[in-house]
């Protein structure tokens, strides 16, 4: 089964062709960093305009790379939400028009579900259920129990800044260019993670919820203090990163202590972070649990993960109506009305 995936939830214009939810025949993504860099963050209006200009070419390029004419596609999957409403509308409108013109089924996919199913792409063995997913990105940080492709339960989530957002804001404090997360990771690799002690905040001892706003603020106050004037940026970056990783892994440890899991998945843009990957793999090795981390190109926003989610979450002979709307606040948990027919084709 061939699915065309379309992703425009934020500032990456992406299209992909995926076979059977696993084999990526083509994945095309155009970043907009150069357009947003001078503003220090994403400008929603610019993002939506760039999607409008680039999406058709991205779809055509993906089909050409996959050597698959569009009329040979079995279904079309598109990110419905959450995300920036202007960006989402471009992708959903394009997907609906294409589905109508080609007479193909249409699937609206939750962007966050896509990140979890990115762990299934381009690998010989698929994750098994139930899985514990640590999903960390610029806009979201949460722990999820995945019982099946259509049964997902949030165990803990951020109460303020997401991990990726804290990375970007701290990178800005350190004078690093946008996007700051990858730049901070590079800088941290040259520093001493034990040089400075930043807080590892837990908003509620009984909860798996996360909080990173206080950590970011602590770094700012430290850099503005007399003691922070003569420090090495590398050491601050490394110490900040160590605090983030410690907080995330402490929640993973707590989640595993509460319930059993067959495997664990690390996904989302921050999953590409070198320190977090090392910590996650080390923890999994100690606990003797299989760990799955997508390749870096599937950690960040991409369309292949959207096609994979649509494949695993349903039967591609039934689909959403062409009246499908973009929803920037799309709920994470599928209910019975939203759930696609449960086929769960994982192997």
Residue 318's pLDDT is what? 59
Q: pLDDT (tens digit, 9 = 90+) per residue, 141-163?
A: 999 999 999 999 999 999 999 99
Question: Higher-confidence residue: 41 or 15?
Answer: 15
pTM as predicted = 0.91
Query: What residue spans of 24-84 are helical by DSSP H?
Result: 33-36, 44-65
Average pLDDT over residues 257-282: 96
The answer to whether residue 38 scores a pLDDT higher than 50 is: yes
Which range, 26-40, 214-228, 331-345, has the best average confidence (pLDDT)?
214-228
Region 67-94 average pLDDT: 96
Average pLDDT over every residue of 31-49: 80
Per residue in 288-306, pLDDT tens?
999 999 999 999 999 999 9
Over residues 221-245, mean pLDDT = 95
pLDDT for 279: 98
How far apart are alpha carbons 240 and 198 in whole angstroms?
7
Judge if 2-118+298-313 and 129-294 fold alike in CATH terms: yes
Domain layout of the chain by residue ranges: 2-118+298-313, 129-294
In this structure, are residues 8 and 25 in contact, taking their beta carbons and an 8 Å threshold? no
261-270 average pLDDT score: 96
User: If you average pLDDT over residues 40-55, what whole number do you get?
Assistant: 89
Structure confidence at residue 45 (pLDDT) = 87
Q: pLDDT above 90 covers what percent of the chain? A: 81
Position 340 scores a pLDDT of 46
Average pLDDT over residues 186-190: 96
| pLDDT at 268 exceeding the cut of 70 | yes
Q: Where is 185: in which H helix or E strand?
A: helix 180-188
Mean pLDDT of 190-206: 92
Q: What is 2-118+298-313's CATH number?
A: 3.30.420.40
Question: How confident is the prediction for the chain on average, in pLDDT?
Answer: 91
Q: Of the CATH numbers 3.30.530.20, 3.40.50.2300, 3.30.420.40, 3.40.50.1950, which one belongs to the domain with range 129-294?
A: 3.30.420.40
pLDDT band per the 50, 70, 90 thresholds, residue 72: very high
Q: Please state the rounded mean pLDDT for residues 32-44.
A: 77
Taking residues 301-322, what's their average pLDDT? Answer: 85
pLDDT greater at residue 132 or residue 319: 132
Say what the pLDDT of residue 213 is.
Answer: 92
β-pairing, 23-30 with 13-19?
Answer: antiparallel
Residue 338 has pLDDT above 70, yes or no: no
pLDDT of residue 335: 58
Q: Is residue 9 packed enough to be buried (19+ CB in 10 Å), middle (13-18) or exposed (0-12)?
A: buried
E strand intervals along the chain: 2-7, 13-19, 23-30, 75-81, 106-110, 131-136, 141-148, 151-157, 263-267, 290-292
Residue 343 has pLDDT above 60, yes or no: no
- Judge contact between 272 and 296, C-beta under 8 A: yes
Note if the bond before 108 is cis, omega within 30 degrees.
no
């Amino acid at each position: 089964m061939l699915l065309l995936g379309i992703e425009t939830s934020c500032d990456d214009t992406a299209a992909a062709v995926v076979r059977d939810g696993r084999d990526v025949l083509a994945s095309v993504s155009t970043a907009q960093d150069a357009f947003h860099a001078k503003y220090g963050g994403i400008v929603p209006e610019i993002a939506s305009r760039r999607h409008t200009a680039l999406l058709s070419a991205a779809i055509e390029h993906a089909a050409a790379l996959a050597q698959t004419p569009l009329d040979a596609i079995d279904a079309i999957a598109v990110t419905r939400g959450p995300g920036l409403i202007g960006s989402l509308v471009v992708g959903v409108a394009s997907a609906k028009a294409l589905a109508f013109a080609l007479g193909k089924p249409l699937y609206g996919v939750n962007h966050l579900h896509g990140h979890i199913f990115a762990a299934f792409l381009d690998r010989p063995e698929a994750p098994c259920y139930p899985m514990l997913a640590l999903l960390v990105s610029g806009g979201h940080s949460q722990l999820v129990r995945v019982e099946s492709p259509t049964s997902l339960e949030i165990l803990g989530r951020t109460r303020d800044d997401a991990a990726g957002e804290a990375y970007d804001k701290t990178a800005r404090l350190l004078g690093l260019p946008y996007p700051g997360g990858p730049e901070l990771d590079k800088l941290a690799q040259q520093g001493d993670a034990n040089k400075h002690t930043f807080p590892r905040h837990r908003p509620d001892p009984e909860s798996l919820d996360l909080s990173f706003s206080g950590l970011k603020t602590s770094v700012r106050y430290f850099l503005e203090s007399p003691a922070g004037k003569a420090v090495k940026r590398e050491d601050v970056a490394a110490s900040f990163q160590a605090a983030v990783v410690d907080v995330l892994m402490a929640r993973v440890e707590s989640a595993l202590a509460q319930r059993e899991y067959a495997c664990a998945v690390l996904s989302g843009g921050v999953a590409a972070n070198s320190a977090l990957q090392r910590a996650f793999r080390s923890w999994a090795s100690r606990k003797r649990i299989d760990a799955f981390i997508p390749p870096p190109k599937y950690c960040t926003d991409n369309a292949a993960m959207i096609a994979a989610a649509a494949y695993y979450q349903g039967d591609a002979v039934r689909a959403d109506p062409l009246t499908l709307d973009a929803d920037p606040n799309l709920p994470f948990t599928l209910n019975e009305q939203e759930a696609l027919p449960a086929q769960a084709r994982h192997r």
